[in-house]
Amino acid sequence: MVKLFHRLAMASTAPLAPRAQRTRTALLAAGLDLLSEKPIDALSIDEVVLRAGVAKGSFFNHFDDKAAFGQAVGAVVREELEAWIGRANAGVVDPVERLAGGMATAFRFALEERTKAIVMLRSLSGVTTRAHPLNRGVVADLDAVEAMGLLGPEAARGGVRYWIGLCQVAMLNIIERPPEAGEGSVRLHDMIVLGLCGLGIDAAKARETAARASTV
């Protein structure tokens, strides 16, 4: 776990001295453990530094406050999810298929990495904007779908927050009510169809895309 956080934290921040990087990684790993147990508002900085095994002053060398810390932990998990999506969509050209593949991957991430998904959903804020760097993939795919003339005008304006919101709700539903055998594929299929149709994509194409993407 610490090795994973070290790799992802290194990728998401400016280069740090080795000792500072070890401290940041330990804090983020502690945050992952603690935020799986309680929301950031119920978490104290003393708990974080105790779990991380670092001095309290070290916390403020890396994070302005608890909110910034929670967002950093959530961002590390979101980056891992984006890596999963990148692998799943490797070689996929159709942006509609890529959107569906992204939702399907988020769904599977919540099934296989439940603790991380809980932390991400609890910790991230401000991630539904086009400008957020973690949304580059969704923005690019939606722009490509728009260029194909497949988006409705509302989706052209609000598609990013709509799609990110649907993916988050799909993950939350899996966490709250784990599916029985075979049920997950049906839930995912329906979410993809409803989501794509909401963007303005033809229902037949939405169902064909969902059928290919929704095997879990």
Tell me the three-class secondary structure of the chain, residue by residue.
CHHHHHHHHHHHCCCCCHHHHHHHHHHHHHHHHHHCCCCHHHCCHHHHHHHHCCCHHHHHHHCCCHHHHHHHHHHHHHHHHHHHHHHHCCCCCCHHHHHHHHHHHHHHHHHHCHHHHHHHHHHCCCCCCCCCHHHHHHHHHHHHHHHCCCCCHHHHHHHHHHHHHHHHHHHHHHHHCCCCCCHHHHHHHHHHHHHHHHHCCCHHHHHHHHHHHCCC
Q: Where are the domains of the chain?
A: 2-63, 78-213
Q: What is the CATH number of domain 2-63?
A: 1.10.10.60
Q: What is the CATH number of domain 78-213?
A: 1.10.357.10
Q: Walk along the chain (216 residues) and give the pLDDT tens digit of each residue.
A: 445 454 545 545 566 788 889 999 999 999 999 998 888 889 999 999 999 999 999 999 999 999 899 999 999 999 999 999 999 999 999 999 999 999 999 999 999 999 999 999 887 777 788 888 889 999 999 999 999 999 999 998 999 999 999 999 999 999 999 998 889 999 999 999 999 999 999 999 999 999 999 986
